[in-house]
Structure 1
Amino acid sequence: MDGFQIVVLALVQGLTEFLPMSSSAHLILTPKILGYSDQGLAFDVAVHLGSLVAVITYFRCEVFVMIRDFLKSLGSRGVQTKNSRMAWKIILATVPIVILGKLMYSMIQSDYRTISVIAISTIAFGVLLLWADIKGVRNRDEYSVTWKDALFIGLFQALAIFPGTSRSGVTMTAGMVIGLTREAASRFSFLLSIPTILMSGALVTFELVLDPLPVAWADLLVGALFSFAAAYICIHVFLRLIERISMLPFVVYRLLLGGVLIWFAMQQV
């Protein structure tokens, strides 16, 4: 991969990872538009890890307090606070995607990384996002999430193993369905991304280390750095604007993107 391709793909991933649109769709469509070959799963994971560092950095205060209170809750007294409960609920919400991802990991890497699958997922879950945004009551914050709510959001997140679904989009959809505000659904989604991206990144990184074929680690590092910068800015701007602009612009974009992907798929037939 040349430098321009690395930077463009990293910026695309960083800007789309935490928006309710599929970063997977963009990482497949962008090389096709620019005439590049697929960058491969290793690079996809690298730029996702850059986004992971961005979300941890942005929510560093919340993450620190949740980890602190979580560890305290494990002590003999087992004192629970709203932050320790939030940590436990994020763990619970992560379980479904871990189970489904483990069962379908090999299939995801091959059978489902197709333009047709991504196009259908992009459109279908875009429509679902619009429905949740219109019908949702949106009067709760993220700390009001119950155990049942956390599991519900986690089950929705498990659907994100299918490329084109958008992990952020589907978890925000679930959050608004249970009555969270757009910002609260987004914040819970961003915090929930931390263990999810961390585990998937660790799994593929372990495979890369054991793989005898050479890995362009420098390219992966550059991609991760640019993804980090783009993701951090994206999170900041998105949280400031989402209550005012609604999800409609992202839904319209998803429908247009899905249409473009269908066109690309038809060209390959």
Structure 2
Amino acid sequence: MQMTWLETVVLGVIQGLTEMLPISSSGHLRLASALFFDADAGASFTAVTQLGTEAAVLLYFAKDIWRLAKAWVVGIWDKPTRQTTDYRMGWYVIIGTIPIVVLGLLFKDAIRDQARNLWLVAASLILFGLLLGAAERFGGKQRGFDDFRLKDGLLLGVAQAGALIPGVSRSGATITAGLFLNIDRAVAARYSFLLAIPAVLGSGLYSLPDVFEPAGAGLIPSGAQMIVATVIAFLVGLAAVHWMLRWVERHSVYIFVWYRVIVGVLIMILLSTGVIDAT
């Protein structure tokens, strides 16, 4: 089914907004496609439009990324630089990316098919929303970037891999893990965005050839529509990442917990009453 321009704009906005918040962009794209357009835009469309949101992250964190990259490169030859937090963080981002790359390749077909079942999306929204709430309640929130260790980078990377399942949320999973590890909420959020950069860019570029040939009766975008959706995701995502980081610096994440649970329950009601189909 050919994607319409209305679908292009709506899905681009949803991607840009929900990718930055701990509420799952893939889950919301899957829900919106089923509820309003009666067809799935597909995992590849999600992955490619994420290039737009990651471009927003690259722009927003440009100074931080340059500082970390410079420290990592210099530290390969310069021993004193290896003692800096920036050098270590560069390695933690690289190591933390490994789990999602390995699992993404191993379970590629399942991620594009079975994992997009709306029952699973609803359950993931609720379960991981409650976990986020528990992490907010019991996490110490005392540790900053200077306190990061290798195990933190690896554990947050494993948590990020959970976002391969629509409904989990990349930022939500990593913030949850960070809070359970007693990492400061704002620090966990910033690290989650930095950690996502290599994984999302790699996934988007890898999925680019598949986006125009979705499995099954999915929505098929034109090249122009794909570009527009990605640009919209970039613009909305730039505003969303700014808002998200300011929010977690001043507030708890309970608003996202309640939202996830409500949306998850709503999806289950819609599925149970036959308003939308799980597949």
- TM, length-normalised to structure 1: 0.93
Question: Partner residue of 2:62?
Answer: 60
**Cα–Cα, structure 1 residues 143 and 53, in superposed 2: closer, same or farther, change >3 Å?**
farther
1:179 aligns with 2:175: no
Q: How far apart, in 2, do the equivalents of 1:206 and 1:32 lie? A: 24
| Residue number in structure 1 paired with 2:199 | 196
Does the CA contact (< 8 Å) of 2:48 and 2:207 recur in 1? no
Distance 1:73 1:29, change over 3 A: same
Structure 2 residue aligned with 1:46, among 41, 48, 52?
A: 48
Counterpart for residue 243 of structure 1: 249
2: CA distance, partners of 1:248 / 1:203: 35
Aligned to 2:222: 216
- Deviation of 1:238 after TM superposition, in Å, equals 1.2
Show the counterpart of 2:143: 140
Q: Does 1:25 align with 2:27?
A: yes
* Matched-pair contact (CA < 8 Å) for 2:44–2:210: no
- The Cα of 1:208 is off from its aligned counterpart by 5.3
Match of 1:108 in 2: 111
1:91-124 Cα offsets, whole Å, 9 max, x none, are: 1111111111111111111111110010111100
Structure 2 match to 1:230: 236
Structure 1's 98 and 132: CA in aligned 2 closer, same or farther, altered over 3 A? Answer: same
- SS of the counterpart of 1:74? helix
Contact 1:73 1:79 in 2 (8 A): yes
Q: Please give the alpha-carbon distance, in whole angstroms, between the structure 2 residues aligned to 1:147 and 1:225.
A: 35
Confirm whether residue 261 of structure 1 aligns to residue 264 of structure 2.
no
Residue identity opposite 2:73 in structure 1: L
AA matched with 2:167: G
Asked if 2 retains the 8 angstrom alpha-carbon contact of 1:43 and 1:223, the reply is no
Distance 2:159 2:178 in 1: 10
Distance of 1:125 and 1:142 partners within structure 2: 24
1:150-170 per-position Cα deviation (integer Å, ceiling 9, x unaligned): 111111112221111111100
CA 1:247–1:76: 2 relative to 1, 3 Å? closer
Please provide the CA RMSD for this pair.
Answer: 2.0
Partner of 2:217: none
Identity of aligned residues (%): 35
Q: How far apart are residue 3 of structure 1 and its match? A: 2.0
Gaps of 5+ in 2: 215-219
Quote the offset at 1:264 in angstroms: 2.6
What is the aligned length? Answer: 267
Supply the AA of the counterpart residue of 1:115. L
C-alpha offsets along residues 21-73 of structure 1, whole Å, 9 cap, x if unaligned? 11111101112332342223332122111001000100000001111111112
Is residue 17–residue 51 contact of structure 1 (8 Å, CA) maintained in 2? yes
Residues 1:28 and 1:210: Cα distance change in structure 2 (over 3 Å)? closer
Q: Distance in 2 between matches of 1:209 and 1:86?
A: 37
